[in-house]
Structure 1
């Protein structure tokens, strides 16, 4: 009976040692995998920080360009208004260049026939 007890005890001890070795090996393997994952997360954090910084810089540049575009648009609008007010016949001349007839000029621009004919001679291909 004592021999049986010793055999069972030895078997349990060997099994426990084998289990401990297996657990230690598994622990070390998992610890290595955890370190790889931590490194990957750290690299991803650095990558995201770089992307975020780039996005902020691009956003800043876009805002600056947008402000410049608004300024240029305002200047262009003011220039066009000044140009039109400097020459009140500008719109009429454009109509003539796009093929308007004397009758169209009289009707659309409130010109008398003589004015329309004169403008057609000056800026067009002849009286309509």
Structure 2
């Protein structure tokens, strides 16, 4: 009977040690889980901030694109109303069809303007 009591005492001691070790392990795991939850919460906050910033940038870009479109339309209107830009366009077409500097001058450009346009849009030689 002494052996049974001795075996029961040893088994009880082993069980107590196992329970203590399991309790410590569970405590460590719970701390790790809490830390991971805090990290996840922090990362979620950062992600929300990034999304908010990206949404703000998207609307900012949309406003800029709208302004660019308006400026482009306004520039086209100005170009259509400006007779000088039309004469330059006509002069460029003349240059591309082989006109000389003298011909451009006869169409109303000053010689300096005609030479400059010829350098920019014509073949590298001046007439």
Regarding TM over 0.5, the answer is yes
Counterpart residue number, 1:37? 36
Deviation by residue 1:36-73 (Cα, 9 ceiling, x = unmatched)? 00000000010001000000011110000000001111
CA distance in 2, matches of 1:59, 1:26: 49
Deviation by residue 1:86-112 (Cα, 9 ceiling, x = unmatched)? 35533344578xxx5xx9338xxxxxx
Counterpart residue number, 2:72? 73
Deviation by residue 1:4-24 (Cα, 9 ceiling, x = unmatched)? 101110111000000000010
Cα 1:9/1:29, change in 2 over 3 Å: same
Contact 1:105 1:116 in 2 (8 A): yes
1:91 correspondence with 2:78: no
User: In structure 2, which of residues 110, 118, 122 is the aligned counterpart of residue 123 of structure 1?
Assistant: 110
Query: Please, which moves more after superposition, 115-124 or 60-69?
Result: 115-124
1:28 correspondence with 2:27: yes
TM-score by length of 2: 0.74
Superposed CA RMSD in Å reads 3.0
Q: Secondary structure of the residue that 1:105 maps to in structure 2?
A: coil
- Counterparts of 1:48-63 in structure 2, within 5 Å, are 48-63=47-62
CA distance in 2, matches of 1:117, 1:62: 44
TM-score by length of 1: 0.73
Structure 1: runs of 5+ lacking an equivalent: 107-114
In terms of Rg, which structure is larger? 1
CA distance in 2, matches of 1:38, 1:122: 76
